[in-house]
Structure 1
Amino acid sequence: MPNEDQRQWQALGIAPLSSGGATGMRMAASDSVEPLTFVEKRAVPVEVAAPEAPKAATISNNPLRIRGRVGDGLYWSLRAAGASPQVAAQYLAALATQIDVGAVAPSAGFDMVLGPGANLLYAGLSRAGEHDLQLVKWSANGRTDWIDAADAGQPQQASAGTVWPVSGGHITSYFGYRYHPILHFTRLHAGVDIGASWGSPIVAAADGQIVAAGWAGGYGRQVRIAHPGGIVTSYSHMSEIVAQPGTVVHAGQLIGYVGSSGLSTGPHVHYEVLRGGTPVNPLSIRFASVQVADTGVVNAVKARLKALLSVGLKRA
């Protein structure tokens, strides 16, 4: 029988149990061990009540103003300033009624005012050496226009009911050459992809006539609308079409629902604009405009602009 010292050394040895290795033994005290004269009593854990869940933030209905510099890119500067993807899309669509948003200089300054429900009421853009934009959303006679009030003393031009095809949608792919995610080669992306949830309503971007509504190969279920000036808009990858060929539609009228038909990786709208049969950047197109010459309307727009630009200013 091994003595106690032998058993301790055996416990310290590195060997499998089948070869005599031991485990779980209490180690004998060595000469280095010093007895304790006092041991502090261990504190008994006290159960602490879970912190109260934070209350949901209250959404204010007061107007909100967001301003900043364009810098390296207008869209991402808007997002960095606090604009949501939906608000940024509204702002770009408003500017696109007047200018090519892809050509905005880094030194330009953006300005916007949001109303209840993050609804864009004002879209401003200051540009060195160029005409500043002060676009005021104006509703009259059942339609909504963007009126440039920067030169409100002169007859104004307002877009003829141009609207974004999907309310709250955000751009997931821009116009230009890109690597196709399904076909796996680089080719022109002839429109913009607007991401939205499945079944979201798709509306006409402007007044026009339906020239096609049905299956269009890789575009899936597609609606095409002809507008004055040789312009055609196209809305693809729908889950359902409600428009009928030959019918006349107005800006904001329902034509179908968001889906992922055809060559598509998820629910979205592929929105194209063609001028004379050639694809152009949808964010740079301006539809036919209507003139605002009524003095009362001009004065009302100027008053609205003054009120909007007072949002966020300190009051004496």
Structure 2
Amino acid sequence: MLFTGLSAFPLTPSDESGIDEKAYARLVARLAEAGVDSIGALGSTGNYAYLSREQRAAAVRIAVEAADGVPVMAGIGALRTSQVLALAEDAQRAGVSAVLLAPMTYQSLTDDEVFGLYEQVTRELSVPLCVYDNPATTHVRFTDELHGRIAALPQVAAIKIPPVPDDPAAARQRVEALRARIPGSVALGVSGDWAAAGGLNAGCDTWYSVTGGLFPRTALALTRAAQSGDAEGAVARSARLEPLWGFFRRYGGLRVMSAAAAHLGLATEPNLPLPLRGLPADARRDLVAVLDELDLGTNA
């Protein structure tokens, strides 16, 4: 189902000449073949904020086609509401199953301004919307009250929350506190890959996964363990991946996945839009050693 299980977010390989469409199609097709539950096109790992409307429309069309029936959720975040509406129209025309909206900003937004964005956008949508709560990139901080207001809007079907606390009891308390504010029909999903096991075990419906965008079978194994009630197994699988989580926390998932995709021959370099740069040479060497240690290759 769309808002349960593993939602895999692939890299959108791009440079100053545009998107590497063939590499992107291959990355998406790998996810569909692995059996992920949904695919998140143009998330933060997908470089959505750096792409033009035309590039984003092309990427969404490619993703829907390459996904071969697996539901695709497309990021539509932009600075202006008019731009968000245009991106939503493009995504719906391409055949997405849902859209993902983060409140991008340069000037600080009030809660009423954030609510107004979602209110206007949901009025125009014919597909479900997932609220993207990502203060690390947007610097917009949602209160539970604001989540409750937005979750009551038509078409709002899911919320993608930041990492939950490490402590299992605190993680469950966090999930339960937010659930108490939102309609029962709205799904909750966790991001921050090192918090995935904790979030799923605490009652989140979905893992919105950077790792799943490149290593879908590894991410699926963790997800399925949690879904089956094997909380210890999910935690153990996450603990095994701690060397990778350390890279995510230090360098960010985008740069790590960029380097990993290049190392595995799944994308050429450069594959990030300037001014973004890849990992430093010493970090790349260390990352390759970690990937080898964890047996994270093209079949992972």
The TM-score normalised by the length of structure 2 is 0.26
Structure ranking higher in strand proportion = 1
Choose between structure 1 and 2 for higher RCO, CA contacts under 8 A separated by at least 6 residues: 2
The TM-score normalised by the length of structure 1 is 0.25
Compare CA radii of gyration and give the structure with the larger one.
1
